[in-house]
Amino acid sequence: MLYLRILSALIGIPVIIGAVYFGGPWYAMLILLIVNLGIYEYNKILKAGNYYVPLVVNYLGVTLFIVVIFFEKYALILPLVMFLFFVLFTFTLLNMETINITDSALALWGIIYLGGLCGYLLMLRMLPDGAFFTYILLAGVWLNDTLAYFIGVKWGSRLFAPQISPKKSLEGSLAGISGTVLIFFSGAILLPNVVPLSPGQAILLALGITVFAQLGDLMESALKRQLQVKDSGGIIPGHGGVLDRFDSMMLAAPFVYYAFTLFDML
């Protein structure tokens, strides 16, 4: 399992870093692929819980979110949500015998979960200096995940959230947070040309990224736990599915986006 995790990382990380570097349509296509694979896994999870969601609407919804954001038509986001709500509402009314309101609500939730949160990954890259901001997000999430995993496996003994994720330990969680904060702080002090952040900004970013990353992981774990699904998929050997790999990043992305926006304002 560890061998597969490392092999997948050695292949996947350069692809992601390269897409971030080139930006533009290359990065947008990567995000589009992630959201469509993610909504596929989300639909499978719901199906396991005997929920029915209209697949065409879900794929269309997440795709439109990314397209609208890529062309920077942010004023269309709320109309898009209302349009999807109307489509799902009408679909439910026309199929009352097989679909209920809960199915439609979960479908819309999934579209916002994948399309909305992953949309921030695209919005972050589109900012001035967006490549640097995105690399900061990636570094923070990957450091948190790596430290939490290895420290948790080696020394974890106290369960962090047993009802949601029985394998996560308090020791691993604290190691992810404290280790990432220390590395970010050290980078700002020792490598100011590489990490052009003040020590305070570095600490704030590391804390926010790690906390939201762990919350994102717990949110996806809660979904799988309630529907009794072990992994969201198996497309990434050693890591599970796309949701298993990107759940942390999805919730941390809005924090990083607004943090850097606030730094620019101050």
- Look at residue 43 and tell me whether its pLDDT is greater than 70: yes
CA 222 and chain centroid, separation: 15
- Look at residue 75 and tell me whether its pLDDT is greater than 90: yes
Output the pLDDT for position 266: 54
Q: Which of 12-21, 130-139, 189-198, 217-226 has the lowest mean pLDDT?
A: 217-226
50 vs 216: CA distance, rounded Å: 24
In this structure, the number of other CB atoms found within 10 A of the CB of residue 1 comes to: 8
Burial readout 153-166 (b: 16 or more C-beta within 10 A, e: otherwise): eeebeeebbeebbe
Output the pLDDT for position 263: 86
DSSP 158: S
Report which secondary-structure segment, H or E, holds 105: helix 101-111
- pLDDT mean over 142-164: 85
251 vs 78: CA distance, rounded Å: 20
Number of domains, the chain: 1
Q: What is the CA radius of gyration of the chain?
A: 19
Instruction: Indicate the length of the chain as a whole number.
Output: 266
- Look at residue 29 and tell me whether its pLDDT is greater than 90: yes
Output the pLDDT for position 236: 60
- Look at residue 67 and tell me whether its pLDDT is greater than 70: yes
Output the pLDDT for position 21: 96
pLDDT tens-place string over residues 200-239: 999 999 999 999 999 999 998 888 888 777 666 666 655 5
Residues 6+ apart with CB under 8 A from 262: none
- Look at residue 7 and tell me whether its pLDDT is greater than 70: no
Output the pLDDT for position 240: 66
- Look at residue 167 and tell me whether its pLDDT is greater than 70: yes
In this prediction, residue 108 has a pLDDT band, given cuts at 50, 70 and 90, of very high
The residue among 150, 161, 153 whose CA lies nearest residue 214 is 161
- Look at residue 58 and tell me whether its pLDDT is greater than 80: yes
Output the pLDDT for position 116: 95
pLDDT tens-place string over residues 133-152: 999 999 999 999 999 988 98
Output the pLDDT for position 224: 81
Report which secondary-structure segment, H or E, holds 166: strand 165-169
- Look at residue 121 and tell me whether its pLDDT is greater than 90: yes
84 vs 146: CA distance, rounded Å: 37
Give the domain range for residue 206: 2-265
Mean pLDDT for all residues in the chain: 89
